[in-house]
Amino acid sequence: MATIELTKDNFNETLTDNGFVLIDFWASWCGPCKMFAPIFEKASEKHDDLVFAKIDTEAQQELAASFNIQSIPTLMIVRDQTVLYAEPGALPEAVLEDLIKQVRELDMDEVREQIAKNHEEASAKE
């Protein structure tokens, strides 16, 4: 699948309609972003069952701010509308492939249970 451009207009729909989305927050002036772009694109061609999306932080400042993006490139992985990974830095191809493999293997029922448990514990402390 080709990489798609995410904007505030199609962001929610894209995450709602797709179970596994990788998002690259980038900008045209960013050297590390330019280095990561071909790695991200190659992974998108290899994993055509996943959605690979890019957010231009200059054009979509409101969207970048809503995720508190402080450094680019930042890779975010969302599965079943749950952010599982969000870290700045250009990843080497092997690391990105390993990360995709790890996220594929997650039991999302267990993840949701852990999130609910964490919310309960946080609420009990307040």
Q: How is residue 74 written in tokens? A: 């930042």
- Before 88, cis peptide (omega within 30)? no
- Please state the length of the chain: 126
C-alpha to C-alpha distance for 91 and 85, rounded to whole angstroms: 13
User: In this structure, how many other beta carbons lie within 10 angstroms of the beta carbon of residue 83?
Assistant: 13
Angle 112-113-114 from CA coordinates, rounded to 5°: 90
User: Tokens 């307040």 appear where?
Assistant: 126
Residues annotated as part of the active site: 30, 33
